[in-house]
Amino acid sequence: MHDRQQKAISRRNFFRALGGASTAAVAAAATLRPGEAQAYDPGKDETKARYRETDHVKAFYRVNGYQTLKK
């Protein structure tokens, strides 16, 4: 019966091996060098102003009491 216990991996040894494997994976990932970063150019459509205070927006502010917050 003692032989059967030694052949099977114990719970403690399983977690010890799992911790060693994760440490090795982190070390391997740290040695990889990423390529050069590319900057994202949003273009003119994404950088233009979108907010416009139209009549329906002004009505929304007036109905919900936001006009009282202005000084």
- Calculate mean pLDDT across residues 3-26: 76
The domain ranges of the chain are: 1-32
Q: How far apart are CA 25 and CA 29, in angstroms?
A: 6
pTM of the predicted model as reported, rounded to 2 decimal places: 0.32
Q: How far apart are CA 60 and CA 23, in angstroms?
A: 56
Per-residue pLDDT, 46: 79
In sequence order, the 6+-apart residues with CB closer than 8 A to the CB of 60 are 66
Q: What's the mean pLDDT when you consider all of the chain? A: 78
If you search the block for the tokens 């150019």, which residue do you land on?
Answer: 41
Q: Which residue has the higher pLDDT, 17 or 67?
A: 17
Confidence of residue 15 (pLDDT cuts 50, 70, 90): confident
pLDDT in tens, 17-46: 878 888 877 777 777 777 788 888 888 877
